Structure 1
Amino acid sequence: MSESESILPDALRSKLWKLFSQIEAEFEGVYAENLNLQEKVDTLTERLESLQSGKTPTSDATTPSMDQPDSSSKLSVKSKASNQLTQLIMKPKQKTGNYKKVINFKGTGGSGCQIVRHFRGHSDGVWEVSVSKGTYHTLEQHLPERTFMSLVGILDMSEFDIIETFVIQLQDRTARLWCLETGVCLLQYQGHKGSVNSIRFHATEPLVLTGSGDHTAHIWKSTIPPNPVQPSEIPQKSCPSSGDDLDGSDKDDLDGDNENTIFVKSAQCQLEGHTSVIISADWMAGGEQLITASWDRTANLYDVETTAIVHTLTGHDQELTHCCTHPSHKMAVTSSTDTTFRLWDFRDPSIHSVNVFQGHSDSVTSAAFTSNDKVVSGSDDRTVKVWDLKNMRTPIAMIRTDSPVNRLAVSPTNHVIAIPHDNRHVRLYDITGVRLGRLPKSNRQGHHRMVCGTAWADEGAQCNLFSCGFDRQVFGWHVTFQPT
């Protein structure tokens, strides 16, 4: 129901809006307090790790005296470190015998990892970021760099008719195409009637797939402007220091559009068949088919040319949270709040097989294939598990974290896992479960709300890792790795 069709009196709508604003302010206060507590927990965790590894903490004079254990307390802390750290993180020893080279992460700050691009323009939380796998060609020009797209998505509110009148204006409902080199928004897609929850680029064609809270998936063609703005013409904006900046004086700067931005308002084709929110969608290998995952507990396999449903994939007991396809084979994995993820095999067109995996104790928020035939799954149970497609009975590695895991990504070249968390962190691990580091996070750098998703680009690119979050921001990072 739109605001113009609401039967509520204006006075009642205004009163409800004020109440919701007060509730949001209360939550903001509680959230800020929790973040401060989490910072203290992270500091203690790092010190416990140093004690367990036998290293002396580097901070002494600069650290408050209440945080400095004396010689007698060090022994008691160290005796407890093992049990506490086991619950926080598992760090198996790195096996180098079967590897030709080892990739080391060069720190978490300075030249090892830094923010290169800051993409701002969405008016609500950004669910997912996706990187194109090739350059775009047009009759007018050839873009010198790859492009990528970010999108917005908040929880679909269609089940709350009374609330919808007020939150509808907060839903961005757009997907945006940005130039990686210049940081300029080139295109904005406005065809969805609900929040945009997922986005994927076609491997070879200038086509984009989006899934939405309006129960549909759209395929639309990206049109590149003939004369994008050059880097020298872009006004420089500093990163906000807190969430209050986005809600106050900084709000006028949220519009990332320029005079050359193309607005696309209709899809090339629309895929229907779900009865609830489409939370994720992805192209199958070859690009002739695609898969969607929905809150209606099913996934659909579509034929792109006819838009017909080839298979309806059933079996999950609760809402689906994510879907991902194999980079070269016609296989897909779907995850669900029922604590399982399922592997679907469509390589034989006459039949499709399915395997169910119950490796987590809470909602499985994402599962992704790697280029070396492994599956990485993340969960609200604060673990990430690595599985080998040749033997999926037990995970070959497990990572324990201190916060629920959102939509993770695996580097196709180095097989490094970028894990986004509810507590604003993005942690990096290798495929064996060894911790490599984390992206910098402070009041003036990095995300200041939940990080929803990550995406890797080519290793040599100016930005080779992207992150997006509920703070409405997308960051392009340059992460440096060094072979040893």
Structure 2
Amino acid sequence: MSSDSEWDRSACSDSKLPSSVRSTLLELFGQIEREFENLYIENLELRREIDTLNERLAAEGQAIDGAELSKGQLKTKASHSTSQLSQKLKTTYKASTSKIVSSFKTTTSRAACQLVKEYIGHRDGIWDVSVAKTQPVVLGTASADHTALLWSIETGKCLVKYAGHVGSVNSIKFHPSEQLALTASGDQTAHIWRYAVQLPTPQPVADTSQISGEDEVECSDKDEPDLDGDVSSDCPTIRVPLTSLKSHQGVVIASDWLVGGKQAVTASWDRTANLYDVETSELVHSLTGHDQELTHCCTHPTQRLVVTSSRDTTFRLWDFRDPSIHSVNVFQGHTDTVTSAVFTVGDNVVSGSDDRTVKVWDLKNMRSPIATIRTDSAINRINVCVGQKIIALPHDNRQVRLFDMSGVRLARLPRSSRQGHRRMVCCSAWSEDHPVCNLFTCGFDRQAIGWNINIPALLQEK
């Protein structure tokens, strides 16, 4: 009865689907029926083989290798043969069901992903990647080598090197309207610094084959002088910030600008987040409440909202829209460290965790997620494509996967010995309007990569 009612509900919902989707579903169910019919036939044949073998062994009782088999030995032999055939049946069933699952996967519309440019020059792993919001549009990377670099997206040339920190640079974010960068560091400070860049003329041929042509080789110390020389030879270096934000008692792991760019927020391993006035460098609010180190902070693109993530398995939403008060909401949706939580333009927050899940939340009802994405590896700093609502997931296992907001997997970025990341991928960042690269990733292999992601029209309509 319950099965019939489920099919009834399915039929009702099916009637609301477009004809193309209904036809695809019917074809899939037809494939499933055919697969199970084949399984049934194979099962019958295997059963006949088992019965025939048992009858032959019991009737003949013949000697093997010159020795007479006892009744007990015959039973053991038959049991062993039956076990082998049962294993064959299980293997056949598993292979057949895998075909069914594969048929579902192959019918899912995918994004076309192409590696366009690699940005190489850091002497240590890259923690963060970001794209400028103002012209000229440049790429920023923050590295454990104590520097932040700005790059020409088209040519891969380093434009500016910031060397004002004395610790790992853990995050970089660009001002919404000025040529200012905000960096957070292991030296317990966040710096605001001004840059002025002139983009080089793009080369006629973008040659990425020489960079990505290496097989999977671990970076060694002997490579460092060459990499450093390439970056520093003609790259201007900034060593002194405009402003230094200094109220934390531990590593500053992340930072971001509030809407309008007059205030900035920082997140620290001292278990607090701080809100600063950019012009005066004064501490406006100290946001306390997390039980363990913070891992990330993010601001809403149009509202005075901040979300902070922590190793305490929670993320917190801070509301500064009313200047007289600031409220906080705590969300407990993960079972391990929340590595990042980010806003979308609408009313959603997307959180990623070391528990290998990503969850999509509705700000109007945050009691439970509206979608959960389960993966096979811990997830680092995620980013959401605003226009097409696509989530880019960087993983510990060197993979980068794309999902839509409902949790449907769209693509996995290509990775091989000749292209893609060779170590943990730390961060992703979209640049939707760029004609060449619209997604960037970075990782412990000391490189950032620019990708061209082409989303099929069917996905854009969802």
Whole-angstrom distance in 2 between the partners of 1:291 and 1:386:
23
Does structure 1 residue 177 correspond to structure 2 residue 182?
no
Q: Secondary structure at the match of 1:335?
A: strand
Does structure 1 residue 75 correspond to structure 2 residue 80?
no
Which residue in 2 is equivalent to 1:114? 114
Whole-angstrom distance in 2 between the partners of 1:267 and 1:249:
32
Whole-angstrom distance in 1 between the partners of 2:131 and 2:263:
20
Runs (5+) with no aligned partner, structure 2: 1-27, 36-86
Instruction: Select the residue among 136, 142, 155 that pairs with 1:151.
Output: 142
Q: Secondary structure at the match of 1:403?
A: coil
Q: Secondary structure at the match of 2:92?
A: helix
Q: CA deviation at 1:206?
A: 0.5
Which residue in 1 is equivalent to 2:260? 286
Structure of higher RCO (CA pairs closer than 8 Å, 6+ residues apart): 1
CA contact (8 A) 1:364 1:377 kept: yes
Whole-angstrom distance in 2 between the partners of 1:379 and 1:81:
31
Which one has a bigger Cα radius of gyration?
2
Whole-angstrom distance in 2 between the partners of 1:81 and 1:405:
28
Deviations 1:386-437 (A, max 9, x none): 0011111110000000000000110011110000000000010000001101
1:367 maps to a residue whose letter is A
Does structure 1 residue 224 correspond to structure 2 residue 202?
no
CA contact (8 A) 1:245 1:251 kept: no
1:238 maps to a residue whose letter is I
Deviations 1:63-118 (A, max 9, x none): xxxxxx97752314667999xx9xxxxx99x9xxxxxxxx9433xxxxx2111010
Matches within 5 A, 1:342-353: 342-353=316-327
Instruction: Select the residue among 342, 354, 372 that pairs with 1:398.
Output: 372
Q: CA deviation at 1:244?
A: 3.0
Q: CA deviation at 1:324?
A: 0.3
CA contact (8 A) 1:243 1:471 kept: no
2:189 maps to a residue whose letter is T
Whole-angstrom distance in 2 between the partners of 1:80 and 1:113:
25
Which residue in 1 is equivalent to 2:180? 207
CA contact (8 A) 2:141 2:149 kept: yes
Which residue in 2 is equivalent to 1:196? 169
Whole-angstrom distance in 2 between the partners of 1:384 and 1:190:
34
Which residue in 2 is equivalent to 1:265? 239
Whole-angstrom distance in 2 between the partners of 1:233 and 1:459:
22
Segment of structure 1 superposing worse, 238-247 or 440-449: 238-247
Instruction: Select the residue among 348, 351, 365 that pairs with 1:374.
Output: 348
Cα gap change, 1:434 to 1:298, in 2 (>3 Å): same
CA contact (8 A) 1:368 1:377 kept: yes
CA contact (8 A) 1:242 1:448 kept: no
Which residue in 2 is equivalent to 1:483? 457
CA contact (8 A) 1:134 1:204 kept: yes
Whole-angstrom distance in 2 between the partners of 1:77 and 1:317:
47
Runs (5+) with no aligned partner, structure 1: 1-49, 57-68, 86-90, 95-102, 107-111, 137-145, 154-171
Q: Secondary structure at the match of 2:441?
A: strand
Does structure 1 residue 309 correspond to structure 2 residue 283?
yes
CA contact (8 A) 1:340 1:364 kept: yes
Cα gap change, 1:319 to 1:245, in 2 (>3 Å): closer
2:415 maps to a residue whose letter is K
Whole-angstrom distance in 2 between the partners of 1:355 and 1:78:
48
Q: Secondary structure at the match of 2:172?
A: strand
Whole-angstrom distance in 2 between the partners of 1:74 and 1:234:
48
Q: CA deviation at 1:311?
A: 0.4
2:124 maps to a residue whose letter is D
Whole-angstrom distance in 2 between the partners of 1:242 and 1:299:
42
Does structure 1 residue 358 correspond to structure 2 residue 332?
yes
Whole-angstrom distance in 1 between the partners of 2:216 and 2:251:
28
Which residue in 2 is equivalent to 1:157? none
Whole-angstrom distance in 1 between the partners of 2:159 and 2:121:
12
Which residue in 1 is equivalent to 2:133? 133
Identity %: 53
Deviations 1:29-69 (A, max 9, x none): xxxxxxxxxxxxxxxxxxxxx99x9599xxxxxxxxxxxx9
Q: Secondary structure at the match of 1:231?
A: coil
Instruction: Select the residue among 404, 411, 429 that pairs with 1:430.
Output: 404
Cα gap change, 1:234 to 1:191, in 2 (>3 Å): farther
Which residue in 2 is equivalent to 1:410? 384
Q: Secondary structure at the match of 2:346?
A: coil
Q: Secondary structure at the match of 1:458?
A: coil
Instruction: Select the residue among 105, 119, 143 that pairs with 2:110.
Output: 105
Which residue in 2 is equivalent to 1:34? none
Q: CA RMSD in A?
A: 2.8
Which residue in 2 is equivalent to 1:16? none
CA contact (8 A) 2:134 2:178 kept: no
